[in-house]
Amino acid sequence: MRSFVRTALTAVLLAGSAIWAVAQTTPQDLRLATLEQLMNMEVTSAARREQRAEDVPAAVYVISRDEIRRSGLTSIPELLRLVPGVQVASINSNKRAVSVRGLNSLYSNKLLVMVDGRSIYNPAFSAVLWDTEDLMLEDVERIEVIRGPGGAMWGANAVNGVVNIITAPSSQTRGGVARVSAGTFDSAAAFRYGGAFGRASYRAYVQGSAHGDSTLPSGEAANDNWHSVTSGFRTDWAKGPDAVMFQGSVASGRQRPLWFDLRSSAAGAGSPAVNALSETQVADVLGRWTRTSASGSSFQVQAYFDLGRRTEAIGSYDRDTWDVDAQYHDALGAHDIVVGGGYRHIAETILGQDPYTFTPGQARSILTNGFVQDSITVGSRVEITLGAKYESNTFAASGFQPSVRALWKVAARQRIWAAASRAIRTPSLIDRGLHVAYPLSSVPAAALTPSMAVLQRDPAAMGLPPGLPILVGAVGNPDFGRERFVNVEAGYRLSVGSMATVDAVGFTGRYDGLQTQEPLPPEVTFAGGGPAVRVLTQYQNRMRARTRGAELVGRLQLANRWEADGTFSAFGASSDPNGSLDPAAMNFDGRAPRYQWRAHSAAPLGPRGQADVHLFYVGPIRSLDVPGYTRLDARVEWRLSGQTSLVGSGQNLLQDTHPEFYGHDTNIHATLLPRSGTLALAWRF
Amino acid sequence: MLLVLLLVPDPGAAQDVSQPNLKAAFLYNFAKFAEWPADASPGGPLTLCVLHDGASEDALVKLVKGASVNGRAITVSKGATTATIRACHVLYIAAAEPDTMVRILDEVKGAPVLTVGDGDAFPRRGGIVGLIVEDGRMRFAINPDAALRAGVRLSSKLLSLAKLVRD
């Protein structure tokens, strides 16, 4: 009798297991399973099929929430210093140059940055204007940085990399957080409250930050302090297969960017700074709906509206953007496919202030795009991903950006991957329509280029009629075309249990059609009540360049809660002027240091505290005459109670002040950044 | 929305289950293999609660429909809030910030609630069971001291399959 029961039971279970072999397993089917059987099943992550970081065939670095907290850093560009292959340089207190794998500039135009899928890349400037983003970092879940072209997925202007700042779902940020910090350079106060009602959760926050003056080479304060206020909210709702997210924010800020005063009538022409205020206001709303089926396929639609206004000493700029994107993701046999498309409408107005003009001063562009990505499993260890994006732009020529990637699971904890891709950068309003001409006499001596210096000393040597005032400047080019980039890279990853990981990448790429400034023939014109000679340069796409480098990340976890990690980046560039007469094309080193590294140690301080020490080295940038520097940061956190903690942090502890970049090409004063320290108190309730 | 990352289904896997469904099955099994000696109404229904995870909650409702455990009916208390969680027999708190985790564990202190959370950090912080996904499979870690404090008795079967953790 007993053996019959046992046989019948086995038969039922085997029949039961036949049910599970079908792709879709319903909850009721699982009721029959034993614990042992449940523990043997393969889990697929329901909503977004997130892949383990080790299986991504790209140079990805994820700055986790924990890493954000332990860095003691309070802004996104500063946090990007943690990522290998990324160059971050502060030009002055409120201006930063950030790029991936070289070609850094205030208007670094090859890096795409997004917050929750909303692009914060400013099309007119072809750059991210970092001073408008002041997110409350407690609510950032992670920052994903992909070095290398992201054009196949993200479209144009993701030439060298993509930064995706992902905020935490509001269901995970319940309760309140209040933080106040005061420091020698930075101060802030922030408050957030999150809660839930029914199936929905929400949070709302407000944050104000103030930043102090950097130092001029003379030792005086640069008067480039700035402050901003940001406020925003996020709500999330989920029921069954549907999830909806809605968020919005407004921000307003005031800075003194330290533009050179180039006005012909300027009383203080050539003086170190223009103390004109710059103001920015931005506002955005974003909504997203995701539907995931039981088999794991998903469909997502996202729409956002974003408007920004800047008033600067050199002009004012208004922009509004409407964007709708959709994508569908499903697996078909060995193929894992994502298909999507989007529509974006951007309206921009740019009005220059003497001596800047922009023609046309307005642009309305419509960008439509379609992309597809197919990950094909070959055998049991190899995965090949093919992707491409096609973009049509009313303002510029359309472009096709393909990429091929492969990943090989060499062994249980080892991966080798390789990728080849092509990306483009589309011309901007400024590339095409800029016009700025200012008196040579107003240019500060330190900012004179060699050709300007010759013009000033001996105009006759350049064939100019003597005695006439000279105007210098730059003009855009209505026929300015796309910059193109083809890149090949490969990487290796190894993990040793949960104790250590190593991630190495090597890359080489070729640029075509890079922007140069070509001299135009001098012309006699009428300015300031009399004849003058105008010697201008024009943007053209002349230069070709090659870049190559390697990036290494290592992490180690030892003993009880002691962790160490570090990164190392090497970078080299060479150019082919291709007929360009721009001195920058001849002397090209990629505007980035050859070597950068950082080391970090995190250790507990007794039962209530935590100490982190960061050491950074940034090598010199020869073409810009910027010296290298070593930086030491430290952070100590002390939990006063279950709900409050005290944090003391210091940055740039090794030197009084140091320079990081230069501003001549964008007519901004570069200053020295000071040592700083901050004390913060945070309270959670 | 990390679009670059796509999971390729492992062709070697025979069974492919979604996380919410699997979690619901585990929660059902925890209810099967635990006892609540201090239960006010020992014959009454077992109440299962889920916080912050609509998908798992829905899967659990479907799974327990018409089921019973040791002669007791099972109900899922939907839309559980911090006010009602002390009445739950099994409480699953989906991935929460460590501070939220600690706060909720504080709320149920002293009440005979079998608390379940994500990761082995959960039992280390005083929860009873932590669900872990390791190499694509679900496991769980148990903190036996926490179970003792809560007055929940776990069967030796559960303890033998679990990774044991101290807080």
CB atoms within 10 A of CB B54: 23
CB B26, CB A38: distance < 8 Å: yes
User: How many CA atoms lie less than 13 Å away from A681 in the CB half-sphere?
Assistant: 4
Q: Pick the more confident residue, A363 or A165.
A: A165
CB atoms within 10 A of CB A588: 25
Distance CA A633, CA A640 (A): 23
- Say whether the peptide bond before residue A123 is cis (omega within 30 degrees of 0): no
pLDDT tens for each residue of B20-30: 889 999 999 99
Which residue type occupies B79? Answer: G
Domain count within chain A: 1
Long-range contact set of residues B96-103: C-beta below 8 Å, sequence gap at least 24: B96/A172, B96/A174, B96/B51, B96/B52, B97/A172, B97/A173, B97/A174, B98/B125, B99/A175, B99/A643, B99/A684, B100/A172, B100/A174, B100/A175, B101/B125, B101/B127, B102/A642, B102/B126, B103/A175
- Say whether the peptide bond before residue A519 is cis (omega within 30 degrees of 0): no
Cβ neighbours of B161 in A, within 8 Å: 35-36, 39
Q: Quote the minimal CA–CA distance from A148 to chain B in Å.
A: 12
Q: Is there a contact between B55 and A240 if contact means CB atoms under 8 Å apart?
A: yes
pLDDT tens for each residue of A531-543: 888 888 899 988 8
3-state secondary structure of A31: helix
What kind and span of H or E run contains B144?
A: helix B144-150
Lowest-confidence pick of A149-153, A378-382, A583-587, B71-75: A149-153
**Any domain includes A404:** yes
Cα dist from A361 to A62, A433, A436, B64, whole Å: 39, 8, 13, 65
Per-residue pLDDT at A659 exceeds 60: yes
Q: Quote the minimal CA–CA distance from A636 to chain B in Å.
A: 19
Note the pLDDT of residue A3.
39
Nearest to B7 among A45, A153, A154 (CB): A45
What percentage of chain A carries pLDDT values higher than 90? 36
* Residue A621 DSSP symbol: B
**Any domain includes A227:** yes
Q: Is there a contact between B52 and A329 if contact means CB atoms under 8 Å apart?
A: no
Distance CA A271, CA A222 (A): 12
* Residue B9 DSSP symbol: P
pLDDT tens for each residue of A429-456: 778 888 888 788 777 666 677 777 777 7
Note the pLDDT of residue A320.
92
CB A326, CB A301: distance < 8 Å: yes
**Any domain includes A4:** no
pLDDT tens for each residue of A233-248: 999 998 878 889 999 9
Band of residue A1 on the pLDDT scale cut at 50, 70, 90: very low
Q: Is there a contact between A31 and B28 if contact means CB atoms under 8 Å apart?
A: yes
pLDDT tens for each residue of A100-148: 998 777 676 778 889 998 988 877 676 677 777 789 999 998 898 989 8
Distance CA A561, CA A311 (A): 49
Cβ neighbours of B121 in A, within 8 Å: none
Note the pLDDT of residue A25.
59
Q: Is A167 on the interface with B (CB under 8 A)?
A: no
Per-residue pLDDT at A273 exceeds 80: no
User: How many CA atoms lie less than 13 Å away from A524 in the CB half-sphere?
Assistant: 8
Cβ neighbours of A409 in B, within 8 Å: none
Q: Is there a contact between A377 and B20 if contact means CB atoms under 8 Å apart?
A: no
Instruction: Tell me the mean pLDDT in the region B109-120.
Output: 91
Distance CA A662, CA A624 (A): 7
Using CB atoms within 10 A of its CB, is residue B23 exposed (0-12), middle (13-18) or buried (19+)? buried
Structure tokens at A319: 């922009």
The residue segments making up the domain with residue A157 are 56-280+297-684
CB A154, CB A163: distance < 8 Å: no
Q: Quote the minimal CA–CA distance from A27 to chain B in Å.
A: 5
Of B61, B56, B101, B58, residue with least CA distance to B82: B101
Complex-level ipTM beyond the 0.90 threshold: no
Structure tokens at A292: 């995931």
Q: Pick the more confident residue, A541 or A9.
A: A541
Nearest to B11 among A58, A373, A377 (CB): A377
What CATH number corresponds to the domain at position A368?
A: 2.40.170.20
CB A651, CB A676: distance < 8 Å: yes
What kind and span of H or E run contains A20?
A: helix A2-21
CB A352, CB A314: distance < 8 Å: yes
Cα end-to-end span (Å), chain A: 62
User: How many CA atoms lie less than 13 Å away from A44 in the CB half-sphere?
Assistant: 28
Q: Is there a contact between A20 and B14 if contact means CB atoms under 8 Å apart?
A: yes
pLDDT tens for each residue of B57-107: 888 998 998 888 888 999 998 877 777 888 899 999 987 767 778 778 888
Predicted TM-score (pTM) of this structure: 0.76
Nearest to B6 among A199, A201, A338 (CB): A338
Cα dist from A468 to A261, A264, A460, A464, A656, whole Å: 21, 14, 11, 9, 45
Q: Which residues have a Cβ under 8 Å from the Cβ of A598 and sit 6 or more positions away? A: A81, A82, A566, A567, A614, A615, A616, A617
CB A671, CB A215: distance < 8 Å: yes
What are the residue ranges spanned by the domains of chain B?
Answer: 19-164
Q: Is there a contact between B59 and A56 if contact means CB atoms under 8 Å apart?
A: no
CATH 1.10.8 correct for B19-164: no
Structure tokens at A227: 């402050």
Lowest-confidence pick of A118-132, A282-296, A603-617, A651-665: A118-132
Nearest to A43 among B63, B64, B136 (CB): B136
**Any domain includes A550:** yes
Distance CA A201, CA B96 (A): 13
Lowest-confidence pick of A33-37, A104-108, A397-401: A104-108
Distance CA A96, CA A264 (A): 28
What percentage of chain A carries pLDDT values higher than 70? 88
Cβ neighbours of A55 in B, within 8 Å: 5, 7
Distance CA A390, CA A395 (A): 15
pLDDT tens for each residue of A143-166: 989 898 876 666 666 778 889 899
Cβ neighbours of A28 in B, within 8 Å: 62-63, 65
